[in-house]
Structure 1
């Protein structure tokens, strides 16, 4: 049995082979060789029992321990048994692309020869499919096959079995089809873009949205002046006027106190009561009261001026802001196209 001989050759790698598979490979350790032997032997046992998933795992682990074309050959044949023809072809090509060392064992050379023969038999068995899109909106159709993007009219190879094709187009519902590919099949799927069903959620605006757009397109009057702005203006003007009154009262009080102090000093020491440094403290207090009175007077006038400006701006806004106009009579005639009905919608205000 050729399969058995090839595996045994790989298992005896540590005994019969003194050189690596290729010139660039490093000599594996004795422990790696022993582990690879056990894994390959287990893989052959599982392969013979048709437990291909488990066999593939053992052969893959053996190859990871010690590289050998014989292990790869058994991996490719196991992929074939599992129906994973594309993976099998990839491994066969890997074997054929490898450049063996001049001292490579005959089993490795035979593995390459067997891979070439197996690949020639495998290649025609790989099925494929192409999807042809017809209709006016070909470029807007998006295709995916098993989740991978697919260009229209392009031929792609897939493993035998069922595959999911999804066609999508803006404004239309996506269409899902299951394509069954048998070995060696060359399928062609023709898809008419116009046959994709309309998607009401994205292609047809709702009746309410159409009415809103029609109404928003018609001229309309602005609303009445904003009450919060009017109230704010009145309040600010009142606060400024109140502040002016407060500062005005304080200014007059300081002025009266200064007059009383001046009268007292004049009565006490005459017109020159503050000359020559006499009554220094009282005279200094008198001067400060005069200065404070003048400062408060300026602040009061500033507040009154601000109140006047805010009041004028508030009145100007009230007089010039647009007011709501009487609703005008109008009618709307809106076409309606729905998934189950057609017609027109007549609405308006009178």
Structure 2
């Protein structure tokens, strides 16, 4: 411990003016106390004291011991970060030899530490997110971790699978996580083969039915006019002998009667056809559309569906 104290003191007091030397002496006192805890294996307390010493006065010697504390605690990733910080640091020509020695030691210990950092490769489907603890990545990604237990996970949507692994120094482990396949999408709804012509048929049926009803009304009116003229003709043509105005009434009544018959026939046909067109879309099978409408004089209109 005394040798380290002298080592630190020489390095710090050679590197700055008087006010810096005062800070250096405070840092050395903390460093000596930290070293006592370090030699007892109290890595946590030693680290905190070395960190306080570093805060008073920067020295790669303090950083080197901080990295060693973290390594001894099993915090390999944090130790690597501190070792790398020392290795990346540059010193001028006037820097104490102790600084250069600390940098050389950090480089050698970093190289050895890199071979001891555990690594976990997480394998899952390409569409699955994977990770270790709070670290997230993609399938087949290798995660560097500290020794000890870690939660390896895979996630797709709301489905997640976890596995706890216990990693040792230098271990490379491949973890395969399989998630159940995502649910199949519902089958597409087959379009109704009749949907394209149902509405036009309904509209056409309504129009035809309206025309048919109109023709029936017209037939009724012309029929009434024919009956009126027939009664008038009987008054004007006693004993079936017609002259003058009586002949005109008879002729007009015949025309009304003919028009009534024709409009009744047309109206009836149009009404039946219109009703069929309106009803047809509702009785055809939605799945196949099978239906048959036939007419013959013996049996009339037949509808099979």
Q: Same fold (TM over 0.5)?
A: yes
Q: CA deviation at 1:142?
A: 2.5
1:71 aligned onto 2:62: yes
Distance 2:150 2:18 in 1: 44
The 1:189/1:39 distance shift into structure 2, 3 A limit, reads same
**2:180 counterpart of 1:194:** yes
Superposition map of 1:336-347 within 5 A: none
Paired residues of 1:127 and 1:185 also in contact (CA < 8 A): yes
Name the counterpart of 1:178. Answer: 164
Question: Judging changes above 3 Å, is the alpha-carbon distance between structure 1 residues 175 and 47 closer, same or farther for their aligned structure 2 residues?
Answer: same
**1:246-285 pair list within 5 angstroms:** none
How much does 1:195 deviate? Answer: 7.0
Compared CA separation, residues 155 and 56, structure 1 to 2 (3 A): same
- The aligned residue for residue 8 of structure 2 is 10
Q: Which residue of 2 aligns with 1:43?
A: 34
1:104 Cα offset (Å): 1.1
8 Å CA contact retained: 1:40, 1:62: yes
1:106 corresponding residue in structure 2: 97
**Matched residues in 2 for 1:7 and 1:114: separation?**
18
Q: 1:126 aligns with which of 117, 120, 124?
A: 117
Label 1:63 to 1:183 Cα distance change in 2 as closer, same or farther (>3 A). same
Tell me: CA distance 1:27–1:125, structure 2 relative to 1, closer, same or farther (3 Å).
farther
CA contact (8 A) 1:133 1:152 kept: yes
**2:138 matched residue in structure 1:** 151
Deviation at 1:52, TM superposition (A): 0.6
Equivalent in the alignment of 1:167: 154
Alignment partners' CA distance in 2, 1:127 and 1:8:
37
Structure 2 distance, partners of 1:114, 1:4, is 20
Greater CA radius of gyration, 1 or 2?
Answer: 2
TM superposition shift of 1:152: 1.1
Q: Check conservation: 2:133, 2:151, Cα contact below 8 A.
A: yes
Whole-angstrom CA distance in 1 between matches of 2:54 and 2:19: 12
Deviation per CA, 1:281-329, whole angstroms, max 9, x where unpaired? xxxxxxxxxxxxxxxxxxxxxxxxxxxxxxxxxxxxxxxxxxxxxxxxx
Structure 1 position 94 matched with structure 2 position 85? yes
Q: Is 1:160–1:182's contact at 8 Å kept on the other side of the alignment?
A: yes
1:34 offset after TM fit, Å?
Answer: 2.1
Q: Secondary structure at the match of 2:162?
A: strand
Task: Give the distance between the partners of 1:50 and 1:129, measured in 2 at CA.
Answer: 29
Distance in 2 (CA, whole Å) between partners of 1:28 and 1:81 is: 34
Task: Provide Cα deviations, 1:22-71, integer angstroms capped at 9, x if missing partner.
Answer: xxxx9863431121011101110000111110000000111111011111
Structure 2 stretches lacking a partner, 5+ long = 186-305
CA contact (8 A) 1:127 1:160 kept: yes
> Distance in 2 between the 1:113 and 1:91 partners?
14
What is the count of residue pairs matched by the alignment? 186
| Structure 2 counterpart of 1:82 | 73
The whole-number CA distance in structure 2 between the counterparts of 1:7 and 1:93 is 25
